[in-house]
Chain A
Amino acid sequence: MASGPLRVVCFVNQFFGQLGGEEKAGVGPQVTDGAVGAARAVQQVLGEAGTVVATVICGDNYTAEQGERAVAELLALVAAARPDLVIAGPAFLAGRYGVACGALCAAVQAKLKIPAVTGMQAENPGVDLYRRQVYIVQTGAEATRMLAEVKRLIALGLKLARGEAIGAPAVEGYFARGVTRNVVTGATAADRATAMLLDKLAGRPFASEVPRPAFPSVPAPRLVKTLEGATIALVTDGGLVPRGNPDGIEALNATRYGAYSIEGKAGLEAAQYDNPHRGYDTSWVKQDPHRLVPVDVARDLEQSGAIGKLHETVYSTVGVATTLAHSARMGQEIAEKLRAAGVDAVILTST
C-alpha cells in the first residue's frame, strides 16, 4: 500500500485523449508522459496527493474489436509506468469506452495487483459487466459535471491505493458490486428483527438486509429421441469418488469434479469408492454407493432396452458451499463433455 504522493496512470479513449472523434476510433494503444486531455482534470483534483505520470490512450473501436489483445497491450503500457493507482475514464454513457475501462481496470487489479477505479453512467454496459470486479463510480450521461465526478473518483482511488477501508456504495458513490462484507452494526440481529417485524405488522416500510435472488431461467431442452434410443449419463454432486479421491475433490467449496469410468461394470462396489462430502452424513452412501448413483438400476434398464445406452462415465463433484461461479463453470464443462460424447440426457443426483 502506498503513502505519500502517488504515481497515477490515466486511461482515456481517443476523444478524451484529444486525438480526435469517431474518425480516430481505430487508433491503437499509445502512451504520453504526464496528463493529457481529460487526465488533466484528474491531475487538478489530485493536487499534491499524486502525479499523473502517464496517460494511456486507445481508440474505442480498437479495444472493442481486439478485446483481450488490446487489454494485454494496454496492460504492458500501464506496467511500464509503474503506477500506484490507475484511473480509467470516466466513460459516462459511451458504451465501448465503458467496457474498455472496466476490462482494463479488472486486468490491472488481477494481473498487476495495482488498485484501479473507473466511472460511468448506470446504463453503460460496462457497469453490468464489471461492477463485481471493479469499483465503478456513478456518473452522469455526459461530461457536464465531470469535475465533481472526478473528485469522487479520485477520493475512492486514493483510499484504494492507501489501503483504507471503503465505505458503503451510497456513501462513496460507486455501483453496488454485489459483494458482501461483514460490518458491526449498532444493534443485535434479534433487536433488528423485532423492530423489522413491528414495522412489517404496522404496514410501515422496512429495509430487508438481504436482496432477493434472481436466477435467469434456463429453457428446458426437449428429449428428441425416444428413451429406448437415448444415451443417458449419471452425474452427482453428492461426492462419490474412487477410493483415495485421486482428483482431490475438495470436501467444501469444491472447484473440481471427476470423471469416473463405469465401463463394463454392472454396479458400484462399495470398497472401491469413498465420499469426502461434508454437508451430510455419508455413511449410508458409502455403505452402498447406489443410494447416490444408481448404476445398478440403470444397467438393468439398459439391458432390458428401456434406455438405449448407459454412458460409460459418471461425473461427480462435492456440492456443499460450492460457489455459484464454480458450480456454473463445472456444470458447463461437464455438459460440453457429455454433448461431445453423444449423451442425450442426464440424471443428476443431488444431496
Chain B
Amino acid sequence: MAVAPRSPRLARRGVLTVESGGASSSGRVGRLYYRAMRLELRWSEVDELVAGSSTRLAGRRLEVDLDALSRLLARDARLRGIRLDLVHPGERCRIGRVFDVVAPRARLDGEDFPGVLGGVARAGHGTTLALAGVAVVATDQQTDSVGTLAVIDMAGPNAALSAFGATENLVISAWPAPGAERSDYLAAVRLAALKAAVHLARAAREAEPDRVEVFALPPSPRVPAELAHLPRVAYVFQIHSHQRPTGLDEGILYGDPVRRMLPTLVHPNEVLDGAVLRGFMGRSVTTWATQNHPVIRALYAQHGRTLWFAGVVVTVAQATEPERVRSAFLTAGIVAHTLGADGAVLTKIGGGAPHVDMAQAAAQCEALGVKTTLLVEDMSTDGSAEGMLLFDFPGVDALVNVGSSHEPLTLPPMDRVVGADDLAPGLQGETRATYGTLCGAIEQIGATRVMAEVR
C-alpha cells in the first residue's frame, strides 16, 4: 500500500451518479490495469467549540451558528422544537437520554451519508473532511423507557471511560411533532444528527488539514506477487440484529433497512465513509464508532505488513434458527471461497441471539479451515464467569471480550444535566448506572479498552 502525498488542491465537487472508467486512482499489475478504492480523510483538530454568528473554523476553534443550524434541523415536519446545547470536556455536566453519537464528516465530492441524507453514491472513494475532537450527540426525547438510554459524563472518574467525555459535544434535543410515530421520530432525530455532523465538518472546507489519512485497498484478488505470502484476513461485520425488525426508514446500509439481509460484501472504505449507520436499537454501538471503525483501522494498519486485508462481509443477526444457519453458512462460504481468507475477525451488535449468531458464523468458518477471532461481550448478568458465553463450538477459541455492560458504576453528582430536563432531578445527583448505560464505555466493535477480567 503506497503512502499518498497530500492532494495539492481540493477535489472536484459534484454528485457521482454513474461509475465509469474515470476513477482517479488506479494501479498496475503486469500489463493489467485495475481500479483501487481510495479514501482521503482530511482531519482538522478542534479543541474549542463555541456559539458564533456563523459556522466557521478559526484555527482550532469551531464557531457554530446555532440559530441557523436549529432552523435547518427544524424544517423536518416530524420534529417540533429543536434545542442545541454545547457541552465541553471538564464541565461538571451529564448528558442524558443519549440515543446515538455521530462524528462530523463532510464529503468534498459525492454524497454525505448516502442513502440516508444524501443520494445513493459511492462512499469511500474521494475526499472527506473530518473534525477531530467534536461529536454530535443525539438525544431521544420521546421514550419513557429511559433505562434503555445512555448518559455521558463530562467530568469525574467516568469521563475517561468514554471517548465522548473528551470531545466537544453538540447536543441535539428534538421533540416529536404531534402524532409522530416512534420510527418516524427516531429517523428524524438521526437525520438531524447527520445534518448537524455535515454542517460542522463543512466549516473545514477551506482549511489546510492538520493531517491526512489515505485508505487505499485494491480489489481483493489483486495481490502483488511479493505480498502474496501474507495471511489473508477478512472482517465479518454484523451490522444489525433482528431481535427487533427495522423500520422502513431505518436505513443502515446505504439507507437500506437490511431486513433479512443475506451476507454480502462491502469495501472497508465504505464503512469508514458513512455507508453504514447504527440502527435505532443497537446496544453498546454508536454510529461514531462505526465511522471510526476500529477493526477496519486495525486491519488497515497491518495491511501489506503482517496481513493482507481480504475484505469486509456484512451480515445481520437473524431471528430464526434456520435463517441463522443459512446466514452462517453463506458467510463462511464468502470468507473462505470468495475472499480466500486464512483468518477472520468477527464482531456483533445487540444481545444474546446475535452473540450466538456470530459464533455460528465463526464455527462454519473454522470448519472450512479459516481461523477466527471474535469480539464478545460478557453475557453474564451476575458477574459470574460461567455465564460469560452462550456458546461452545469447536475451534471458536480465540475470544477477546469488550467488557460487561451489566457491571454497576456509580456516577458522581454533577452541576447540570443536558438533554434530559425531565430526568434532571434524578440524573444530577449521584446516580447508579452500569457500564452499558455510560455511552461509549463499551463499544462492541472494539473501540474501547474495557475488558471483563476473570477474577
Contact = CB atoms under 8 A, between A and B. Distances in A.
A296 B302 CA distance: 59
A130 to B, nearest CB: 14
Contact of B399 (A176, A198, A210, A253): A210
Interface string A190-220: 1111101110110000101111111000000
B407 interface: yes
Interface in B369-400: 371-376, 378, 380-389, 392, 397-400
B388 A211 contact: yes
B295 interface: yes
Contacts of A209: 399-401, 451-452
Interface residues of A, number: 46
Interface in B401-455: 401-404, 406-407, 435, 443, 445-455
A166 B449 CA distance: 20
A154 B245 CA distance: 55
B66 interface: no
B248 to A, nearest CB: 16
B307 interface: yes
B453 A181 contact: yes
A179 B381 CA distance: 11
Contact of B398 (A177, A185, A191, A200): A200
A325 B387 CA distance: 10
Contacts of A322: 381
Contacts of B387: 323-324
A35 B245 CA distance: 66
Given A196-B400, A201-B371, A322-B381, A281 B450 contact: no
B215 to A, nearest CB: 15
A213 B389 contact: yes
Interface in B325-343: 342-343
Contact of B401 (A179, A210, A280): A210
A296 B343 CA distance: 50
Contact of B382 (A191, A210, A211, A325): A325
A179 B371 CA distance: 29
A76 interface: no
A208 B382 contact: no
A280 B451 CA distance: 27
B451 A185 contact: yes
A185 B401 CA distance: 11
Contacts of A189: 294, 375, 400-402, 443, 446-449, 451
A201 B231 contact: yes
A188 B352 contact: no
B455 A176 contact: yes
Interface string A27-49: 00000000000000000000000
A76 B374 CA distance: 50
A223 interface: no
Nearest to B383: A179
Nearest to B388: A210
Nearest to A189: B446
A178 B448 contact: no
A279 interface: yes
B147 to A, nearest CB: 8
A144 interface: no
Contacts of B233: 197, 201
B298 interface: yes
A187 interface: yes
B187 to A, nearest CB: 18
Interface string B334-369: 000000001111000001100000000000000000
A213 B373 contact: no
Contacts of A281: 243-245
B229 interface: no
A279 B298 contact: no
Interface of B: 161, 231, 233, 243-245, 294-295, 297-299, 302, 306-307, 319, 342-345, 351-352, 371-376, 378, 380-389, 392, 397-404, 406-407, 435, 443, 445-455
Given A180-B388, A186-B449, A194-B373, 20 more contacts: A168-B455, A176-B385, A180-B383, A180-B385, A180-B453, A180-B454, A181-B383, A181-B407, A182-B435, A182-B451, A191-B294, A193-B345, A197-B343, A197-B372, A198-B343, A208-B397, A211-B388, A213-B389, A323-B387, A324-B382
